Amino acid sequence: MPYVYALAEHGRTLATRPLGEMLREDLIEKAAGEEIVELDFTDVLGASHSFADEFVARLAEEAESDEVGFAVTLVGASDDVERVIRRALDRRELSLPQPA
C-alpha cells in the first residue's frame, strides 16, 4: 500500500515556494521507510508554478536520485493543477510514474 499524502489538508490553493518547501520537508519526515508515496491533489483548486516546482519537482528529483528512499506518484489532480505540475517537471526534465 502506498503512503498517501493529502495536499487538500494544507489548503485548497497552494501558492508559494516556502509552503512547497515546508510540505516537502513534512512529507519526507512522515514517509520515512515507505516505498511509494502518492501525492493526492484531490480537492485542490489551484497550485502555483513556484509551489509545484518546490514541492513536486524537487521531490521527484530527490526520489530519482534516491535521496529520499521512496518513489513518488501523482493522483487526484484537476486538469489545471496537473498542467502546472507537468510544466514544473518538464522544466527539470523529470516525469512521474503513473500510479499502479
Q: Which residues lie near other proteins (CB under 8 A)?
A: 11-19, 45-46, 48-51, 53, 57, 80, 87, 91-92
Nearer to other proteins by Cβ, of 35 and 90: the residue is: 90
| Torsion sign (Cα): 34, 72, 49, 6 | negative
Residues 7 and 14: beta-carbon distance below 8 Å: yes
Nearer to other proteins by Cβ, of 22 and 71: the residue is: 22
Q: State the nearest-atom distance from the C-beta of 32 to other proteins, in Å.
A: 25
Q: State the nearest-atom distance from the C-beta of 54 to other proteins, in Å.
A: 9
Nearer to other proteins by Cβ, of 11 and 34: the residue is: 11
Q: State the nearest-atom distance from the C-beta of 63 to other proteins, in Å.
A: 16
